[in-house]
């Protein structure tokens, strides 16, 4: 949202093809620090498409590398962990109230 980056890790209970069918099977936890190269890539993507917000999906491999999957310009985020949901809500309200330079 704007210049702020929020990240949540979604873990599934077992091997499920699509956890969205039963969100009781997931655990969401805040990611305390998004790597600088990921932050820069996200910002570049938003700038290239003239977006203020994007819900980016990444996957981690066995070595902890981040792999970009997609960006949803109107992606869902209210189901993730409470601290991240609150932070995104605040950033959204601030952006709507104050505007953005993006």
Q: How many domains does the chain have?
A: 1
* Helix, coil or strand: residue 29: strand
- Identify whether 53 is part of a domain: yes
On whether residue 33 sits in a domain, the answer given is yes
CA distances, 10 to each of 15, 35, 39, 68 (Å): 13, 17, 19, 15
In a domain, 3, yes or no: no
Residue 39 falls within a domain, yes or no?
yes
Owning domain of residue 30: 8-98
pTM, whole model, 2 decimals? 0.81
CA distances from 34 to 12, 30, 65 (A): 21, 10, 12
Give every CB contact of residue 36 below 8 A, 6+ residues apart in sequence: none
Mean pLDDT of the chain: 87
Residue 73 in domain: yes
Residue 2 belongs to a domain:
no
What three-state secondary structure class fits 32?
coil
In a domain, 1, yes or no: no
- Pairwise pLDDT comparison (28 vs 100), residue with the higher score: 28
**Residue 13 in domain:** yes
Q: Is 67 exposed, middle or buried (0-12, 13-18, 19+ CB in 10 A)?
A: exposed
CATH number at residue 38: 3.30.470
- Counting residues of the chain whose pLDDT is more than 90, the rounded percentage is 38
pLDDT digit string (tens) for 26-71? Answer: 889 999 889 999 999 999 999 999 988 999 999 989 898 999 999 9
């Amino acid at each position: 949202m704007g210049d702020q980056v929020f990240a949540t890790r979604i873990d599934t209970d077992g091997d499920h093809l699509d956890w969205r069918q039963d969100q009781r099977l997931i655990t969401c936890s805040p990611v305390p620090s998004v790597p600088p190269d990921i932050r820069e890539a996200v910002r570049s993507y938003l700038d290239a498409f003239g977006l203020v917000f994007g819900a980016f999906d990444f996957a981690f491999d066995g070595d902890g590398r981040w792999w970009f999957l997609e960006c949803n310009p109107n992606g869902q985020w209210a189901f993730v962990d409470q601290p991240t949901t609150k932070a995104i809500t605040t950033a959204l309200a601030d952006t709507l109230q104050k505007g953005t330079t993006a």
